[in-house]
């Protein structure tokens, strides 16, 4: 039941309790499009009592003074009405005054930014800890924003924006750079532009696109590891956080980057894949592919395939890692240059 309820956005969280055998508690939190947060939970075994939720704009300082919402645990869900939708809130959810879970919305709805989400909350099976909320984000391109969107973005306190797009793709405006330090680590994908042109002219179809996307992901691993090494160097510095990793759609280059970071933190294959596939939920694929509506059906399928996240796309990258290095751990050490000490330091920065 839990898997079905939380498919794609399932978060297993660490419990703060003195009990020797605490219950299993699963929580998911989503923004509903108007700034409010919908929180759902399940407990095994069933717990009696109430859920109390405390909120803060600082994920490191959620004080249990006055709850913003209270409900019976048996309800399984509640909606938190946000008094200021321009700010991002983090929550401490307390079950029966005993068991505590930190959570936040996975998705961040800011006008003009797609596929914007927090990488917090994922469980590190290696470290038995969770990725901290409000530290590391991934998104599609962040370019010209309205004054309101700029205010929301600034309120998040992001210090560093890592732009993985090629130089010709980058359009970051002064209004964005005023708020953050933009670091360009260009990974150009000219071939993708040629593929889209080929689709429009009817010479490339969906099956071919799938093969091309798999090959591009293999090349990201094989040819562009120095760029990902630069990213991991930035992630080693405390002063760079909070940090957001971006590319054009937030799926290809940023998707591989996010997967590598989660692997370095000890997150399981299943959760890494779930996070990768969330692009299909949070990126507006119809809008991205709308220019192909007048094309033949096969061409439309091909354009849609470019913008989708598919298991075989990420698996192609993983298979390239196995082919060249044997496993992800070795790739991180020998390809990326992330030593065991560096990995431990990264885990200390990003896990709680």
Residue 153 lies in a domain: yes
Per-residue pLDDT for 14 more than 70? no
- Whether residue 249 is predicted with pLDDT greater than 50 in this model: the reply is yes
Tally of domains within the chain: 2
Using CA atoms, how far apart are residues 262 and 68, in angstroms rounded to an integer?
A: 31
Domain boundary among 84, 105, 126: 105
In a domain, 20, yes or no: yes
**Alpha helices, DSSP H, located in 252-339:** 253-264, 269-277, 279-282, 285-288, 297-307, 311-325, 328-330
Helix (H) or strand (E) holding 93: strand 90-95
What's the pLDDT score for residue 293?
Answer: 59
CB 282 within 8 A of CB 219: no
If asked whether residues 236 and 333 sit together in one domain, one would say yes
Tell me what pLDDT residue 9 has. 40
336 vs 300, more confident: 336
Among candidate residues 158, 164, 174, the one with its CA nearest the CA of residue 140? 164
In terms of domains, do 275 and 187 share one? yes
Question: Which of 105, 128, 148 finishes a domain?
Answer: 105
218 in the same domain as 79: no
Query: Is 2 within 8 Å of 26 (Cβ atoms)?
Result: yes
Q: What is the mean pLDDT of residues 128-144?
A: 94
Section 3-7 average pLDDT? 37
Q: Is residue 119 part of a domain?
A: no
Q: Decide if 40 is inside a domain.
A: yes
Residues 44 and 182 grouped into a single domain: no
pLDDT at 295: 65
101 and 141 in a single domain? The answer is: no
Check whether 137 has a pLDDT greater than 90: yes
Residues 284 and 324 in one domain: yes
Instruction: Name residues whose C-beta falls within 8 Å of residue 130's C-beta, 6 or more positions apart in sequence.
Output: 13, 14, 102, 120, 121, 122, 123, 124, 351, 352
Same domain, 262 and 340: yes
Mean of the pLDDT values across residues 94-116?
95
Report the pLDDT value the prediction gives residue 302, as an integer from 0 to 100.
72
Of 10-19, 153-162, 236-245, the poorest mean pLDDT is in 10-19
Supply the DSSP symbol for 167: G
**Average pLDDT of the residues of the chain:** 88
**Could you tell me the CATH number of the domain that includes residue 187?**
3.90.190.10
pLDDT at 341 over 90: yes
Q: Which residue has the higher pLDDT, 193 or 330?
A: 330
115, part of any domain: no
114 vs 85, higher pLDDT: 114
The answer to which of 110-114, 167-171, 277-281 has the lowest mean pLDDT is: 167-171
Instruction: Say which CATH number the domain at 89 has.
Output: 2.60.40.10
Same-domain check for residues 303 and 209: yes
In a domain, 160, yes or no: yes
Under the banding of pLDDT at 50, 70 and 90, the label for residue 8 is very low
Please indicate whether residue 332 or residue 296 has the higher confidence score (pLDDT): 332
Q: What is the mean predicted confidence (pLDDT) over 72-89?
A: 93
Q: Is residue 204 domain-shared with residue 346, that is, in the same domain?
A: yes
* 27 DSSP β-pair partners: 41
* Percent helix, strand and coil across the chain, each to the nearest 5: 40, 20, 40
Give the range of the structural domain holding residue 28, as residue numbers without chain letter: 2-105
Q: What's the whole-number mean pLDDT along residues 211-221?
A: 93
Boundary-marking domain end, from 55, 88, 105: 105
Residue 301 in domain: yes
Q: Is the pLDDT of residue 3 over 60?
A: no
Token output for 85: 């939708």
- Look at residue 110 and tell me if it is in a domain: no
CA-based nearest residue to 332, from 254, 253, 256:
256
Burial 263-287 (b: 16+ CB within 10 A, else e): bbbbbbeebbbbbbbbbebbbebee
213 and 93, same structural domain? no
Residues 98, 196 share a domain: no
Same domain, 99 and 140: no
CA distance 155 to 54: 19
């Amino acid at each position: 039941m839990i898997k079905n309820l939380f498919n794609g956005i399932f978060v297993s969280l660490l419990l703060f309790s003195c009990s020797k055998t605490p219950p299993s508690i699963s929580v998911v939190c989503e923004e509903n499009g108007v700034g409010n947060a919908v929180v759902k939970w399940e407990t095994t075994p069933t717990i009696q009592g109430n859920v109390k939720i405390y909120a803060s704009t600082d994920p490191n300082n959620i004080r249990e003074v006055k709850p913003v919402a209270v409900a019976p645990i048996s309800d399984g869900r509640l909606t938190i009405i946000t008094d200021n939708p321009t700010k991002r809130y983090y929550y401490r959810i307390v079950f029966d005054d005993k068991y505590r879970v930190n959570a936040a919305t996975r998705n961040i709805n800011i006008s003009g930014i797609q596929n914007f989400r927090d990488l917090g909350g994922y469980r590190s099976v290696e470290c038995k800890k969770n990725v901290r909320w409000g530290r590391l984000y991934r998104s599609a391109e962040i370019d010209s924003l309205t004054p309101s969107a700029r205010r929301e973005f600034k309120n998040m306190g992001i210090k560093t924006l890592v732009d993985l797009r090629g130089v010709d793709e980058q359009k970051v405006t002064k209004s964005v750079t005023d708020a953050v330090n933009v670091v360009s680590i260009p990974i150009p994908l000219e071939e993708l532009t040629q593929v889209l042109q080929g689709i429009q002219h009817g010479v490339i179809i969906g099956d071919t696109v799938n093969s091309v996307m798999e090959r591009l992901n293999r090349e990201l691993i094989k040819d562009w590891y120095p760029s990902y090494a630069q990213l991991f160097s930035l992630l080693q510095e405390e002063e760079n956080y909070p940090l957001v990793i971006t590319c054009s759609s937030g799926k290809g280059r940023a998707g591989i980057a996010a997967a590598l970071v989660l692997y370095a933190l000890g997150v399981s294959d299943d959760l890494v894949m779930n996070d990768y596939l969330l692009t299909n939920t949070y990126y507006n694929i119809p809008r991205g592919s709308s220019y192909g509506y007048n094309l033949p059906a096969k061409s439309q399928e091909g354009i849609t395939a470019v913008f989708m996240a598919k298991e075989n796309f990420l698996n192609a990258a993983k298979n390239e890692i196995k082919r060249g290095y044997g496993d992800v751990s070795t790739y991180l050490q020998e390809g990326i240059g992330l030593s065991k000490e560096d990995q431990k330091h990264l885990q200390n920065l990003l896990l709680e």
